[in-house]
Chains A and B, each alone.
Chain A
Amino acid sequence: MPNAYPTKPFKIMKLKHSTQRFALKIMKWSFFHLCIAVIFANVSLALDLSAQEVLDQRISVRAVDQKINTVLAYIEKNSEVKFSYSPNLIQASRKVTLNATNEKLSAVLDRLLVPHNLSYEAVGKRIILKRVLPGTKDKAIAPIKQQTQTIKLPVDRGITGRVTDDQGEALPGVNILLKTTQRGTTTDQNGAYSLSIPDGNESTLVFSFVGYEPREVEVGNQSTLDISLSPDQKSLNEVVVVGYGTQKKSDLTGSVVRANIEAFRESPNVNLAQSLQGTVPGLNIGQTSSAGQNPSISIRGRTTINGNQNVLLVVDGIIFTGSMSDLNPADIASVDVLKDPSSMAIFGAQAANGVILITTKGGKQQASKPVFNYSGSYTTQTPSNTLHLFDREGFIKKSADIDWEKAFVAPDYTQPKPGFTYLDVVNDPPLRTGFENGTDYDWWGNTTNPGFITAHNLSVSGSSNETSYFISGGYTDQKGFIMNDKFKRVTTRINLENKIFKWFTLGAQTFGSFSDYSGVSPALSGITIMPPLVSPTDENGEFILNPTGANISNPFLVSAADDFDKRNNIFGNFYANIELPFVKGLTYRVNYGHNYAWDRHYSSNQYANAAAGEAYKINSNAYDWTLDNILTYKKAFGEDHRLDVTLVAGRRERMYETTNATGTNFNNLRLIYNDLSLGTIQRVTSGAWNESYLYQTGRINYEFKYRYLLTATLRRDGFSGFADNSKTALFPSIGFGWVVSEEEFLKNSSAITHLKLRGSYGSNGNLVSRYSSLARLNIYPAYVFGDGGSTEFGQVVTTLANPNLSWETTTGFNFGLDFSFLKNRLTGSLDYYRTTTNDLIFDVSIPEVTGFNQITSNVGNIANRGIELMLNGKVLDKGDFKWNANFNLAANRNRVVSLLGLDNDKDGEEDDLVGSGLFIGQPIGAIYDYESGGIIQIGEEAPKGFFVGTHRIIDQNNDDFIDANDRVIRGRTEPAYNFGFLNEFTYRDFTFRFFINSIQGGKNSYLGQNMPNGLGIGDNIRRNNFWRELDYWTPANPGARYRGLDQGAATEYNYYGNRSFVRLQDVTLAYNLNATLINRLGMKGVKVFVSGKNLATLTKWVGWDPETGSGLTTNGRPVMKGVSVGLDVRF
């Protein structure tokens, strides 16, 4: 077959091009190798700065009447130290004046602190500030042990103890104050303290530390008191990841939410996304129903119809195209979600559907010894809901129901006809035999079994002064409820960061994920329809190919495959961070990220291909790389102005290729898939694609007087998938914030701790799928002339080109309110947004007279609006007992505003695109279908094309004719609102949590088609089994939901069920072992827990699960319920 189109003229050009690329590649790889070399060379060179060296470093400071914490922050930024202090203790807001030029840090600190009755101590690079207590004369640099010995107060009795974080790590520098007195101390390097307190049982100690929630503990008569402090998750100083940088939550102008993944650490979530389910308003995570499955993810409403709908995943700053299931949830430090146009703007068009920023764990910033962490759990897996297939007895009864005219007595057919037997209506000999032999085979029971999940994770993290590391390994083994539904995953991660010079940091975030999905489940669509009157095997235990005698294969045959399905992914982001000399605050960072995924799916099955045998190997791999150049500039001008500029120039490329080699008609398959040449018929197919991205972004954050915030972003995006003249586009956005609580009139309010108004406005593009603008020609084996002739290839144009295909643009605003009342007892935020998407990328249906059925075009616009609420309350805080509650609520509405802009029917209103299922003023998920006027009963006259037992279709337009013009909008598939409710109770070392998740549809929303895929008629429905829960019509059941099963009508009526549900999604009880005991064991922390997943669901949905929308279909799967026990040890 000669070549279909000339390639010669292009060859020379191509060569040139590839040489260039090759050279570029070499350069890239050498750089990459250099990075690695440098990292490893420097691990050994790392120096440990002593405390004295820290205090001896020289520094210049000039401050006139500035807050003391501002001065300290300045020193931190310009030297190698970190301060630890409690702002209350040092009265951080009092103003100081200081002038020092190139002086020793110790001298500077002496001058700064001593006048204010403060002392300090250096621990490594950390300097702990303390109040000098009355009656003590401690020298600034005195070791803390001496200091505590020198306390000379009226001593009644002593108390000692140790303060750790929730992971069991010592917390140095924690302030401890005897309540209502000035008496207190701080913890030493090991987190230990000792303090004298008055006799009696009334004493209460207050433990406080920056970034942690303060705790008050009654001493009672104890002499040892070990406590742990938990990080203050809701702290307003929380730093969130915003894309190419981080930002303090209090400085945000857009809608960015950090997910509370800590609350779900003990849940049996194989996939990280499951830990996000229901916790972030506006983030919608679907349910999973098979092992290793990725749930669906979407953010806010749907802004596109045929454009890209995927949420952008960014792992450690690099866009991640792998599967979410490749990430080990145990490795994840934080997850931030970007929701509004202005915060997504930095990622441009790829972020059109929202962004999830995932940050993996690293070593601690400060020097610390290695900490090992092991966690393991075992989880049971049983269905959260049960459906039942008819057993023998039910099946026979159902057969009589279908042939009711034969099985019941006229005229009302409710009394069984005497002498009727199943043999009167059954035709298939195997069913007759089964009936006569008393066969009652449980197809579902033999396909399913309770499953389990086991998970083991081991990690070590730590850091010296220059190098920090986090290394982990994880193993997950999941066996689902359905036979052969298996998933195994091994993950490894190495995150390293090395400070080579004071201004130069190199690092790598790498992971490998190796998943095994091997094993084929029986064909559920066959299992559920096989009648209980036949068995899968004969008397010799051999499979029967067609148990009912019909051409439906034995559903167990597919599961007899030798199946090998391994999916691997390796990811590496190599970065360099350079604090550019000459200009303070100017940093250059380069990210060079790679993701390589390769899947091998091999399978062989002697029963495949009508038992002729088939074996295949599919090899596919995907590779993408990202090169980002990021320049940031942070600077404060005077006390009032702060500027934070980020500029990014980057490029990304994705490539994919796949090869499928199949052999069929094997003599034998002893070599399974390893020698495909033994197949008499061999077929090879392959495919490949690539796509390129090129982008430049700039973002400016400006803050004035802590009160007025501005974020402006401009992004220029380029994507290969658009038509030639629309490859690039420009998208601007802007955001404002007003911290009202910083204004004079609120500054001293005791009720309002923090109040901020934010507003953002911006526009963003969306991508189209690659090659959409091009016409396609399909070349395929078309014809063979003559007996024994050879294959002639045909060519056919399959899609129309659209030379104008361009960006779809979403523009909108987001208004938000962040608040914190009553000293952070009630915090939360409220967001309202509205977006409009213009030039929708949409596959417009066109008349098939053209030879095509659609063309991808830019048409019309849709609008989304929604509201999101988050509330965190510290409901109770009574000593040992604490109750925190967290509530979130989200609602979104979308609406088609305009389509083609045509009014062909001249009714003065724009026409709907009925043929494409789109209606002006209706949501995208509008359900346009017929309505039922009830089922036609015996004795009633059936219209032409309809029969007794089928639904009567309502003639909506009253033209005495039932046709497609009688369809109406029956509701929509989108939910009305959803909410999540998390409660956490802590009592001493016990934590109890439960989480309720709910999606609600109200009256006409969140509908799903709730019936089998085709109710069936004729031979098949008589032969097939189905779910007992299917409420079908019989003369004795006139009010049924579904029609009778013997005949279908000209127009099928579809039933839509309400998917609303309330689910008890997670319940956890965790116990942290007593610190003293753990110390004795040489451990840093031990936690044991039990948890439950999906323990209860309230819904009216009939079927497997409302959230998956799996109803009474033949191939549905249940959502799993699990109870797990687990252990988490740090040492």
Chain B
Amino acid sequence: MKHLKNIVLPILVLLFVAVGCDEKEILKEVPLDFASPENSFVTVNDFNSAVYTLYDLTRQTLSDGEHRPLDYMYGTDLGYNGAQQLNLRFGSYPATLTPSSDPARYHWQQYYKIISSANIILNRMTKSKLNAAQQKTIEAKAKLFRGLAYRNLAHLYGGVPIELEEVSSPKTDYVRAPREKVYQQAAADLEFAAANLPAVTKVKDGEVTNLAAQHLLAETYVALKRFPDAIKAASAVIADPATALMQNRFGSRASEPGDVYWDLFRRFNQNRSAGNTEGIWVFQYEVDVPGGVIRSSSKEGPQLERDCAPRPYSFPYKDPKGITPFLSLGVSDYTGGRGIGRFRGTDHYTYGIWGYDWKDMRNSEFNFVRDVAFNNPKSVWYGQKLSDHMAMFRQRTDDTIRNFYPYQSKVTTPGQHPAELFVDPVLKTLNASATGTTYTDQYLIRLAETYLLRAEAYLGAGDAAKAAADINIVRARAKAKPVTPAQVTIDFILDERMRELGVEEKRRLTLNRLGLLYERTLKYCNGHPTAAKYGVDVAPHNNLFPIPFSEIERNTGAVLEQNPGYSSK
């Protein structure tokens, strides 16, 4: 054993020293292809990057994809799921909207991601190299997005937990704050944003401004029933010299037949640089540019065309020569592009609201498409109208629910689909695998809505005359018959929002805010006549979304109460 000690030990010591001397250095972990938050919130550029993510998250939640803008519309007074799916897209409320369902979880998760990202910005800012002015602007931006997120959470879910700090360790004891508290938090954030964000003339297209904050603030005040404050905030937007409703033809297709309302929704016409003074907050989309979301080769971005436009290419009927008069692919014309006819407008939306004045510009042949021409040049009916053969094209239930029905042309871009999508550039037939997006920027806030919001505030404050005046400004632009103060009710305003905004509006937010989702949906939304025998089966408790079950499950340290009607309690 002596030998062992004398020889082995020194050798070993040498070995271990040779291999292990700089152990700390060897085992140090330096990530190679991702950054660390520790050193990434320093310069103003870092903070701007973090704010760009807030833009992206907000756009994602409210506008991107097949479900997202549409979760806010299906199963409301606006429209229903025409695809006979009862447990998807609010085909039937009890089958679609449960605490375990995807819509309940998705929006919760997204808005809290916005909140948490804003909290991180606000927390890190104090330790950064930003000067006071920069801090103020960044803070205003972060608070705008956080305020928007809390406002929408309160609309959708009622009271929710309020978290204003950067979370750095697992926290599992959240409790719900009352809905009013959440609105107050949103208002506080938006007040700061409204006071400190730049003016609309000082920003790039698509950037948030003090006016966007004022509009959101106005709506939050309405929810808090602080009507004078709401009127003041909305007036700040309306009175700003840089904003005005568009009254004349403008933009990329001003020389074609149409009207100013039509121009508002054509490609490249949404931003101020296009001469548009009506857009207050416009979600930016670009085709085939990183960060622009929309791609010419796959369905990404707002899928309003896909869901809301009909699919006349599915009509089985043939002309006397045995040729189908519609081309077998979606076509970039007024037949709806590559729609699949899933979001069928309610009769109230497609017919009822227009009874007040059928000649309303927003109901023009350009804006609410009610008839289309056959587009197959091989057919002897080519160029004739669908209405010329009405009886034939309404034989079966799906003919008028999916294959063709009146729809708003703002969901599509007739003649303006990206060139890569054309299977045949002459016929303008569209690739079935990739088309379906609405290839334009999307309004989140448009000045016309601000007028309607102020009208709501005036109505709430008991001033029907001023409410009517605001509504009539919007109607006047549409050359529609004015409304009298006596006619102004909340239902009229909701109908007017339908006329002016239609599928542009995140309808569920408005209806939930007013607690009228159940009432209006029950009244106007029948659902698919063969699948939903009892309508979409909406119940009073559906005025709020359920708190996601997964969240209740994860919050092990405290009880997150479920909304009434979604559990046995």
Contacts and interface: CB of A to CB of B under 8 A. Distances in A.
Given A546-B433, A614-B297, A847-B551, 6 more contacts: A611-B433, A612-B420, A783-B291, A794-B50, A944-B537, A1051-B98
Interface in B58-113: 59, 83-88, 92, 94-96, 98-101, 108-109, 112-113
A774 B31 contact: yes
Interface stretch (B8-16, B131-139, B181-189, B238-246): B8-16
Contacts of B255: none
A793 interface: yes
B42 A6 contact: yes
B26 A651 contact: yes
A911 B273 contact: no
Nearest to B48: A792
A850 B271 contact: no
A694 B20 contact: yes
Contacts of A787: 205, 268, 271, 273-274, 286, 441
A694 B32 contact: no
B20 A845 contact: no
Interface in A755-793: 770-771, 773-779, 781-793
Given A784-B291, A793-B52, A797-B117, A1018 B88 contact: yes
A1075 B566 CA distance: 82
A327 to B, nearest CB: 28
Nearest to A946: B95
A963 B549 contact: yes
Contact of A850 (B170, B298, B560): B170
Interface string B202-230: 00111100000000000000000000000
A696 B53 CA distance: 46
Given A546-B433, A776-B34, A911-B556, A694 B27 contact: yes
Contact of A696 (B11, B20, B56, B297): B20
Interface string B325-336: 000110000000
A787 B53 CA distance: 19
A795 B86 contact: no
Nearest to B109: A848
B23 interface: yes
B7 A580 contact: yes
Contacts of B350: none
A847 B100 contact: no
Contact of A849 (B36, B163, B537): B163
Contacts of A1047: 84-87, 531
Given A429-B316, A429-B328, A850-B116, A786 B204 contact: yes
B36 A650 contact: no
B310 to A, nearest CB: 13
A853 interface: yes
27 contacts: A4-B49, A546-B433, A551-B299, A614-B297, A629-B19, A688-B32, A696-B16, A696-B20, A720-B28, A774-B29, A782-B56, A784-B292, A787-B205, A789-B204, A793-B291, A794-B52, A797-B116, A797-B117, A847-B161, A849-B163, A851-B116, A945-B94, A1017-B85, A1018-B85, A1046-B84, A1047-B531, A1051-B100
Interface stretch (A331-339, A451-459, A582-590, A827-835): A582-590
Nearest to B268: A787
Given A2-B45, A610-B297, A1049-B95, A727 B16 contact: no
Contacts of B158: none
A963 B568 contact: yes
Given A549-B432, A776-B36, A627 B19 contact: yes
Interface of B: 3-4, 7-8, 11-12, 15-16, 19-20, 23-29, 31-40, 42-43, 45-46, 48-50, 52-53, 55-57, 59, 83-88, 92, 94-96, 98-101, 108-109, 112-113, 115-117, 119-120, 160-161, 163, 167-172, 174, 204-207, 268, 271, 273-274, 284, 286, 288-292, 296-299, 313-316, 324, 328-329, 398, 402, 420-421, 423, 431-434, 436, 441, 531, 537, 548-551, 553-558, 560, 566-568
Given A665-B420, A783-B284, A794-B52, A647 B86 contact: no
Nearest to A943: B94
The 7 closest A-B pairs by CB, nearest first: A851-B116, A610-B434, A794-B53, A781-B290, A609-B297, A945-B94, A959-B568
Contacts of B329: 549
Contacts of B29: 691, 720-721, 770-771, 773-774
Interface string A906-936: 0000010111000000000000000000000
A239 B491 CA distance: 88
Nearest to A637: B1
Nearest to A791: B291
A719 B553 contact: no
Given A612-B296, A1019-B83, A945 B92 contact: yes
Contact of A774 (B36, B92, B420): B36
Contact of A852 (B36, B39, B167, B558): B167
B432 A545 contact: yes
Given A549-B328, A1018-B85, A785 B204 contact: yes
Given A649-B19, A794-B49, A429 B324 contact: yes
A1108 to B, nearest CB: 29
Given A719-B27, A852-B116, A847 B32 contact: no
Q: Is the interface of B mostly helix, strand, loop or mixed?
A: loop
A108 to B, nearest CB: 26
Contact of A4 (B40, B113, B313): B40
A696 B18 CA distance: 12
B170 A855 contact: yes
A102 interface: no
Contact of A6 (B39, B53, B299, B537): B39
Contacts of A1017: 84-88
Contacts of B28: 720
Interface stretch (A198-206, A679-687, A872-880, A1111-1119): A679-687
B291 A665 contact: no
A686 B34 CA distance: 11
Nearest to B553: A915
Nearest to A857: B170
Interface residues of A, number: 124
Given A696-B16, A777-B35, A1050 B554 contact: no
Contact of B37 (A681, A777, A782, A961): A777
A796 B50 contact: yes
Interface in A971-1024: 1017-1019
Contact of B94 (A612, A857, A959, A1050): A1050
A797 B34 CA distance: 11
A395 interface: no
A234 interface: no
B63 to A, nearest CB: 13
A844 B329 CA distance: 48
A831 B533 CA distance: 64
Interface string A888-903: 0000000000001010
B49 A582 contact: no
B179 to A, nearest CB: 16
A1046 B530 CA distance: 12
Contacts of B53: 782, 794-796
Contact of B433 (A428, A545, A680, A784): A545
Interface in A136-156: none
A439 to B, nearest CB: 16
Contact of A582 (B3, B15, B19, B206): B3
Interface in A673-706: 680-681, 683, 686-692, 694, 696
Nearest to B19: A649
A86 interface: no
Contacts of B55: 782-783, 794
B27 A720 contact: yes
B299 to A, nearest CB: 7
Contact of A609 (B46, B117, B167, B298): B298
B256 to A, nearest CB: 19
Given A651-B26, A850-B171, A775 B98 contact: no
